[in-house]
Structure 1
């Protein structure tokens, strides 16, 4: 029997919220209907998917989640792609950006008088999904890469990508740090330093570990927010180091930026867009590409 997407969606909601009642409220079902959905899915697969007290996925449920989340996202992306083809285009343009891709200069290039333009700042991993599911027409996303390599983005559907910028990266530290006067640094030499794990406003520590091939780079502080200015203040206050693009706009009196010389890495920004674009969205995409 094929798994019903409605049942999968209910299972994902209960697993995420750890509550049958909260999942029912979010999905617009009764709690009894949610329980019936989970029971039907468990009967179909012949295994318990959720523990009840407390509510949470079993080991089998965890494995199902690994399949269900991307499957449901691809279904939403397919619906959105078809709707774009059959719906009359509007003059509105919605742009989703990750924090470090949200350059003021770049965003100004896409705006024109008379164009209804909405910008939402989102975590990196949500930008692709926003474009794929129709929440945004365009997406600007950033990340760490080897020179001239594309970003490794989530597989959420056939989204064309265009490289926008490729910048060197630097380690940000307080001006009084012992290494602040260096002309360059090897990341491996800083593996045991104090780091701020800012997954959306700096290069994630997971990416640094992968680049150096080390399990080090342990966080002294976790910063799960999207305010870059606040991150710079945390670095200046001595709470830890962070790797960011080596840009003039991030050079300030609070921190010192020391270029990363090894391994060869760049901070890359890419534009994502749906296969079908309205004239207004296409014009904005061209402006972002040219800018």
Structure 2
């Protein structure tokens, strides 16, 4: 069984797009070439992987999909690490960030790096928490800043990717964010277990995701009436101010209509970590040195 990665990538694309023709356009192949790739993979595995009309994975295809993502990601990570190792030094840095990863500490250190290297070309891309580790691993980002909730002594839970180096660059308290006129807005602290039956905004790209709250405070329902898939924190704050639900966030300035009350229990913090590949050189290495030159806060 060869499990040719080119055939595997074609299969994943067809399954994701639900169409041989759409997959052909995305991959730059002819439709007949895509059909040949799928037929060759099915012959290699002695199993039908896709139903043709409509196009959908069979049970064997779904099983292969469970393995295909991590396999292809590790191949991309290996290719990216070799490319970093042999590449000529450049003055370009492409940095992926989650919406809450640009803390004042991080912004200050980025400004210092820019001042020290004014000719460098720096690009910042705002992505969600799952996309940043995958893109760093695959080499489409030189480095990434991701954030999340964790116990003070624990690392962030990251999706499975290729080898990454994770460095803590900032850590700060978490706050329950609620409408300014909320009955609990004048409290000096709030316990998460006491709010488990309240309505919360499901905002996985910005606030602490609800599954993480449920894990930290089981049993608890953490009900939701609205899912917010944006990355604009001010948009999230507007929904909180309108009474659509609560959210767990670090302390943030300039959010009208909301109040932030410190989380008193359980003991959790908002953490920002820098992610770099298995091989780190040039501007990405300089960024890591800059962000760790001063204590995280």
Question: Residue in 2 aligned with 1:231?
Answer: 236
Counterpart Cα distance in 2 of 1:150 and 1:256: 28
Between Structure 1 and Structure 2, how many residues are aligned?
Answer: 289
Counterpart Cα distance in 2 of 1:287 and 1:67: 37
Matches within 5 A, 1:267-286: 267-286=270-289
CA apart distance, 1:215: 5.8
Could you tell me the TM-score, scaled by structure 1's length? 0.93
Residue 119 (structure 1) aligned with residue 104 (structure 2): no
Counterpart Cα distance in 2 of 1:194 and 1:54: 39
| SS at structure 2 position matched to 1:286 | helix
Unaligned runs of at least 5 residues, structure 1:
none
Matches within 5 A, 1:138-177: 138-177=143-182
User: Which is worse superposed, 161-170 or 72-81?
Assistant: 161-170
2:264 corresponds, among 240, 261, 265, to 261
| SS at structure 2 position matched to 1:224 | coil
| SS at structure 2 position matched to 1:188 | helix
Report if aligned partners of 2:101, 2:146 keep a CA contact under 8 Å in 1.
yes
Distance 1:49 1:103, change over 3 A: same
Distance 1:214 1:63, change over 3 A: farther
| SS at structure 1 position matched to 2:164 | coil
Matches within 5 A, 1:1-291: 1-103=1-103, 105-110=105-110, 111-112=114-115, 113-214=118-219, 216-245=221-250, 247=251, 249-250=252-253, 252-290=255-293
User: Which is worse superposed, 253-262 or 221-230?
Assistant: 253-262
Counterpart Cα distance in 2 of 1:219 and 1:290: 41
Distance 1:202 1:56, change over 3 A: same
CA apart distance, 1:104: 5.4
1:262-287 CA-to-partner distances (Å, cap 9, x unmatched) read: 22211111011123333332222222
CA apart distance, 1:257: 0.9
Report if aligned partners of 1:107, 1:288 keep a CA contact under 8 Å in 2.
no
CA apart distance, 1:253: 3.5
Unaligned runs of at least 5 residues, structure 2:
none
CA apart distance, 1:83: 0.9
Report if aligned partners of 1:91, 1:278 keep a CA contact under 8 Å in 2.
no
| SS at structure 1 position matched to 2:167 | strand
User: Which is worse superposed, 258-267 or 124-133?
Assistant: 258-267
1:38-87 CA-to-partner distances (Å, cap 9, x unmatched) read: 22222322333223333222232222111100110110010010011111
Counterpart Cα distance in 2 of 1:215 and 1:252: 28
Report if aligned partners of 1:172, 1:255 keep a CA contact under 8 Å in 2.
yes
1:88-127 CA-to-partner distances (Å, cap 9, x unmatched) read: 1101111111111023552342223222111111111111
Report if aligned partners of 1:195, 1:242 keep a CA contact under 8 Å in 2.
yes
CA apart distance, 1:229: 1.2
| SS at structure 1 position matched to 2:70 | helix
